[in-house]
Amino acid sequence: MNDDLKIFCGNSNPALADAICEHLDMERSPMEISRFSNDNLFVQIQDNVRERDVFLVQSFTHPVSDHLMEMMIAIDALRSASARRITAVIPYYSYARSDKKDAPRISITGRLIADLLQTAGADRVLTMDLHADQVHGFFKVPVDHLTAIPTIASHFQKYYDLSKMVAVATDAGGAKRAGRFSERLNIPMAIIDKRRVSDTEVKQGHVVGDVANKEAIIFEDEISTGGTLLSTVDTLVAAGVSKVHAGAVHPVFCGPAVERLKNSALGSVVVTNTVDIPDNKMFPSLTRLSVAPLFAEAIRRIHTGESVGALFR
């Protein structure tokens, strides 16, 4: 790519940013991120960005507040350094989960963050598998919304016998996502129906759909502590499923997640690299697929003005 395109990244996932740059056959531009003694963040762009087309890669992973502030301060620095266009590349937009007001007097933080990023100076957004498709509409600036569902589906298609497979959503809210995944693989689907027993207790869900004597792929957008996933495994096994796999786009893997998954009855766990997994957290049944080629191609097309929608056909 030419000199007009610049790619920077924050501290959340430099490995992915580097992989993207490699696919584009270019160097990542340097940016210093440090802290003052009073814990204020400091960001300095270390490359001339005047009138350049800049992409800034940052996932909203732990510590989320710091990674978010890094991104906003960097965008402000880029803007005031006269970048021509700033695209916030957010492979994992954690706050997409705060997308509705399901309790009184709370914030729809997914919308708030969208507004804050625009105030900071983001001209557009490139992201992947938002928790709900509607979150796209939280942004006023143009968004390119990629999906890793075909990537993960292809993996299962290649390496697994799908004849007795069923795709499972962990709750009713995930039915649409699991449906899309199952349609891609041409397999049936099921969902877990969970009910609230009291204000503080959610009882074990039960399976809606036909799963007995089948093999299952639980499909989610993200795996966080793994708690929901493992309780779903239990529910499925109790319902007669012979083997359970898991597919998810964002491997948030926090707290006891890795230990739990490693020691679970799960067959394969297939994720992407939107969230960085340190080497010491990798385990044998875990497969990590790279979304770098997809992001690289999207960036190339955004930069040159080619259709991005065509990426999905």
Q: Which residues are designated catalytic?
A: 194
201 is a site residue for its own copies (CB under 8 A): no
Query: How many residues appear in the chain?
Result: 313
Smallest distance, Å, CB 119 to its own copies? 4
Residues 65 to 84 in contact with its own copies, rule: CB under 8 A:
65-66, 68-69, 72-74, 76-82
Tokens 């569902």 correspond to 149
Residue 274's H or E segment, with its range, is none
Which residues does residue 189 pair with via DSSP β-bridges, in sequence order? Answer: 167
Residues 21 to 40 in contact with its own copies, rule: CB under 8 A:
36-40
CB 209 within 8 A of CB 188: yes
Other Cβ atoms closer than 10 A to 158: 7
204 is a site residue for its own copies (CB under 8 A): no
Tokens 């799908």 correspond to 162
Smallest distance, Å, CB 274 to its own copies? 12
176 is a site residue for its own copies (CB under 8 A): yes
Question: By rule CB under 8 A, what count of residues binds its own copies?
Answer: 104
Residues 42 to 61 in contact with its own copies, rule: CB under 8 A:
42-46, 48-52, 61
Which residues does residue 21 pair with via DSSP β-bridges, in sequence order? Answer: none
104 is a site residue for its own copies (CB under 8 A): yes
Cα 152-174-14 angle, rounded to 5 deg: 45
111 is a site residue for its own copies (CB under 8 A): yes
Point out which span in 13-21, 181-189, 240-248, 258-266 binds its own copies (CB under 8 A).
181-189
Q: First vs last Cα of the chain: how many Å apart?
A: 24
CB 73 within 8 A of CB 98: no
Q: Identify which of residues 19 and 114 has a Cβ nearer to its own copies in the complex.
A: 114
CB 209 within 8 A of CB 191: yes
Enumerate the H helices of 160-216 as residue ranges.
175-185
91 is a site residue for its own copies (CB under 8 A): no
259 is a site residue for its own copies (CB under 8 A): no
Q: Identify which of residues 172 and 265 has a Cβ nearer to its own copies in the complex.
A: 172
Distance, C-alpha 107 to centroid of its chain? 21
Q: Identify which of residues 84 and 282 has a Cβ nearer to its own copies in the complex.
A: 84
CB 268 within 8 A of CB 285: yes
Residues 131 to 170 in contact with its own copies, rule: CB under 8 A:
132-138, 140, 142-143, 145, 169
200 is a site residue for its own copies (CB under 8 A): no
Per-position x/- string for 273-312, each x denoting binding to its own copies as judged by CB under 8 A, each - no binding: ----------------------------xx--xxxxxx-x
